[in-house]
Amino acid sequence: MHSLTIVTINRNNSTGLQETLTSIVNQTYSAINLVIVDGASSDDSLKVIDKITNNNSKMQVCVISEKDNGIYNAMNKGINNSDGDYIFFLNSGDQFFDENAVENVFSQVDNEDVVYGNICLSVRGKIKVLNSNPEIRFFDRYQHDMPPHPAIFIKTTKILDIGGFNERYKIVSDVALIMTLFSDKNLKYKFIDMPITVFDSNGVSSKSENKDLIYKERRHFILNHYPNYLDDFESIYEKKNSLLSRLLRWTSKA
């Protein structure tokens, strides 16, 4: 049986944190340990952590509560305190699709480096399934069709090998990490066509006011790592941005 470390980061989101932690401790898969990285919250987050983890007897829990230098600094702390075969990031506000989500995934894992599925977007009580590509094609690696991080299980050794998240980016470091992973020609990956998580649409990467920063950071990453694809990136981004705008309009009207 493969062991799994789930990393949850949080800051002053006690309501979302309670939903997230409840969905984790309710998982039927038995080989789970949990790392909670709290950014010195001033709300009731620590009370929520104490209440839920004290009533949990089936998984090992590590709690870190201290100031951090942003989302990816917190996620890197989680990586550095992970000891499972695989690692999964389920941040405050996100939830597993159901209590069998992890069990269903690992019943189909055969020692791949990366295993991923689909996510659901929750907008005011409405659920929209966002399907991941079952095959990561060469061109897609440098564009926008990468699996989202709340649907990816990564071998811990693999994420440590690439140094975790690049903390110079404020919003797109998860994209950069996933692109780096899938650019490894020796990577063994598997797509499982099932919903893994329900994603909180209030995250920083989902807000329309961050659209320009997302573009700038993505462009910076492409320019520095895959400069020959910059023109393709610009062309594809324009098309994808149009689709994103329609999705944001949908979420605002829902």
Whole-model pTM: value is 0.84
Predicted confidence (pLDDT) per residue in 21-71, tens digit = 999 999 999 999 999 999 999 999 999 999 988 887 789 999 999 999 999
Handedness of CA 159, 78, 110, 98 (dihedral sign): negative
Is the per-residue pLDDT at 233 higher than 60? yes
Is the per-residue pLDDT at 128 higher than 60? yes
Is the per-residue pLDDT at 142 higher than 60? no
Predicted confidence (pLDDT) per residue in 60-113, tens digit = 999 999 999 999 999 999 999 999 999 999 999 999 999 999 999 999 999 999
Domains delineated in the chain: 4-201 (3.90.550.10)
Count of Cβ atoms closer than 10 Å to residue 165 Cβ: 23
